[in-house]
Amino acid sequence: MTSPYGGPPSLTIGQAVGQAEACLTRLLTGVLARRRTSRPTYLALQRLNTLGGHAARDDYERDLSEWLGLDGPGAKVLAGELLDRNLAEADDNDIRFTEQGRALREGILTEGAQITRALLTGLDVHDVETTIRTLQEITTRASRPASTTTEEHS
């Protein structure tokens, strides 16, 4: 068997990304456990940050639904969990970070960055930047409807 690009067999990109994702997820799980935070809560904080730290509640719940693959009630429950834990606050229309929510997110990111920094030490910075850009492009392409992705590369 040869690689998709000829030559000797090697990991496919799917295998390589999958193995890296599994290892990095395990590390993130440790960070989240130390902070007594679930992965869905962390991801909900990340999505709120992506929206600028505040958003219309309906828009935020729609974003959670789309990005995390939740149904409408699941997105509403997850947003409600942020409110219950005082990680976000809401009025009739909007939801926004509390200081506690912002601090939790920043703490997770800081601890994660320390772990990542140790993993990246000694790697070529340009290789890392290329990998990041490549993975971002793959994610963008994979997020498009299947017909769009197929048509572009036919």
Residue 1's pLDDT band, with cuts at 50, 70 and 90, is very low
User: How many whole angstroms separate alpha carbon 48 and alpha carbon 19?
Assistant: 28
Main-chain dihedrals φ then ψ at residue 53, nearest 5 degrees: 90, -5
Q: What is the mean pLDDT of residues 124-133?
A: 95
Comparison of pLDDT for 139 and 65, the residue scoring more: 65
Whether 40 shows a pLDDT value over 90: the answer reads: yes
Who's near 28: CB < 8 A, 6+ residues apart? 39, 42, 112
β-strand partners of 56? 94
Tell me if the pTM is above 0.85.
no
